[in-house]
Amino acid sequence: MTTTSGPAYQVVNPATGDVVETFDTATDADIEAAIAGATQAYASWKDVPITERGEIVKKVAALFAERADGLAAIANEEMGKPLSEGVEEAEFCQSIFDYFATEGPTLAADQPIKTFSGGKAVVQKLPVGPLLGIMPWNFPYYQIARFAAPNLMLGNTIILKHAESVPKSALAVEQIMKDAGVPEGAYVNVFASHEQIETIISDPRIQGVSLTGSERAGAIVAAIAGKNLKKCVLELGGSDPMIVLDSDDLGEVVDNAWDFRMYNTGQACNSNKRMIVMDDLFDDFVGKLTEKALAIDSFSPLSSRRAAEALAEQVDDAVSKGATLHAGGVLSDGPDAHYTPAVLSGITKDMRAYSEELFGPVAVVYKVGSDEEALALANDTTYGLGGAVFSKDPARAEKIAQRLEVGMANVNTTAGEGAEIPFGGVKRSGFGRELGPLGMDEFVNKRMFFIAD
């Protein structure tokens, strides 16, 4: 890994392009103190009864709700998230911490094994030690919550390295942990450089790493973890299909498609980035999407000018090779990060948009002539995060959804979501799961414990 030049951690308001505040990258001494502190805290935190850990995790949940407005304001300034969506994100964090605080003792309970030779056997779920979390900017609180909540309940300790563009969000979460009573060292934020990330993962005191981010970052982190024989969980990119087979109310389906695609300014890993629509519905579907795009007077910026420019390059590449831009797709002059919501069709395999993830407000629509063609197109991707199938005949939709090569398949909804619903993918979308019962099964010692008769 190489260290980036210039101030690594800084707040740049994407609505204006103004640099608001900068933060110093951690020193090597800071990194050593974080690792030592997490190791020392683990020695006592793991022995705190899980119900008592749950009481602290409950306080974390309450503070996310109590501070929702302030957290939303920080996210709005740092990465452009609409205030209402920032409040929703903080409230979702409350639900996640509440879920694991309440269900954690049951999820982590001993599991008896039926034996055939006498004796008593159980599988225990024990913590493993200090962990590193590497989190992205697009959901600056939720991404932390789904990693931190189950692991704090298990008794693991956490070193958290957040995206360089959201340092104030990172500090706000660290303050919540402190104010809730999480012991010193059990959760610590570090403004680490790329070189220091490698140092942390390589350190024998660190027992695992979880990353949500790009394919490139995931491959680098997985290589370092593998070289050091460390468990890792990766949640990477996605180009999720949304298949529309038929509908009694196409307007409602279009509303769902548009709202989910534009959520978080189109910057969600599992949003419906490829809308695959039957030929008899295609023109009407695209027309209704276009009306929605043209009706927008103003829209939130993307997270950064660089992100907006990268998206514009992908769309421009498609248009230059014959794709149809029905609406939007206008990049501001800068230095702000605004890009008007777009509707794009006519994508072919020679275009970057066919194989690359479009991380922004672009609705891409494909025309197909049969269920099998829809399924083949849906699975023709290196990604495998989620997918959805819509039909007025649930059995028809389920038949296709069962064959999607994804980690999360949905019928007649864009996404099944909740603190209790596992999240994760296959193929180049990564491996491992967060949230729900599976969220406590990643960084855990599933120890066999046997007592002879």
State the catalytic residues: 235, 269
The CA distance from 260 to 392, in Å, is 20
Distance of CA 114 to the CA centre of its chain: 38
Q: Give 3-state DSSP helix, strand, coil % of the chain, rounded to 5.
A: 45, 20, 35
Among 349, 410, 409, 414, CA closest to 382: 349
Q: Is residue 121 helix, strand or coil?
A: strand
The CA distance from 441 to 176, in Å, is 25
Residue 33: Cβ within 10 Å count: 15
Please provide the DSSP assignment of 35-87 as one string: HHHHHHHHHHHTTS-HHHHHHHHHHHHHHHHHTHHHHHHHHHHHH---HHHHH
Number of residues that make up the chain: 453
The CA distance from 171 to 189, in Å, is 7
- Name the DSSP class of 434: B
Q: Which pair of structure tokens corresponds to residue 102?
A: 């309440």
- Name the DSSP class of 292: H
- Name the DSSP class of 271: S
Rg (CA), the chain: 23
Contact 49, 154 (CB under 8 A): no
Among 250, 320, 336, 261, CA closest to 296: 261
| φ, ψ for residue 187, nearest 5 deg | -145, 120
The CA distance from 221 to 198, in Å, is 8
Whole-angstrom distance between the N-terminal and C-terminal Cα of the chain? 53
The CA distance from 63 to 68, in Å, is 8
